[in-house]
């Protein structure tokens, strides 16, 4: 019985991991939408291939407030965005400063 429960738990975790894809994108901030002075709603980056990618923020992105993202937009400093895909939408889980190649 314990073996069956263990297998069920492992399979449940494996399914949860495949339901959402993890990834990293790098690019220049091109648009920012804020919920407040400190909370990002969504933002877009232009990736190196020229593709515009939109990320939604759920909760805090640490030091990456709307004004910090806008600063990157003005200065042209790239960002590195770690994300998870949920229901076909990219959700930013971390944003970092990224240097030029």
Over range 5-15, report the average pLDDT.
44
Q: Mind listing the pLDDT tens digit for each residue in 40-87?
A: 999 999 998 899 999 999 989 999 999 999 999 999 999 999 999 999
By CB atoms closer than 10 A (0-12, 13-18, 19+), residue 35 is exposed
Architecture of domain 21-97: Beta Barrel (2.40)
Record the pTM.
0.77
Determine the pLDDT at residue 42. Answer: 98
Q: Mind listing the pLDDT tens digit for each residue in 76-101?
A: 999 999 999 999 999 999 999 997 66
Q: How far is CA 1 from CA 5, 7, 8, 54, 84, in A?
A: 6, 10, 11, 46, 35
Q: Is the per-residue pLDDT at 16 higher than 80?
A: no
Determine the pLDDT at residue 100. Answer: 62
Nearest to 31 by CA among 20, 42, 19: 42
Tokens matching residue 40: 């990002």
């Amino acid at each position: 019985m314990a073996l069956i429960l263990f297998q069920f738990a492992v399979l449940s975790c494996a399914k949860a991991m495949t339901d959402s894809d993890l990834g990293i994108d790098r690019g220049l901030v091109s648009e920012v939408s804020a919920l407040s002075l400190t909370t990002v709603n969504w933002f877009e980056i232009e990736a190196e291939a020229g593709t515009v990618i939109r990320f939604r923020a759920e909760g805090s992105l640490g030091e990456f407030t709307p004004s910090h993202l806008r600063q990157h937009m003005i200065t042209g400093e790239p960002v590195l965005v770690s994300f998870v895909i949920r229901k076909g939408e990219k959700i930013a889980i971390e944003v970092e400063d990224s240097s030029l190649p």
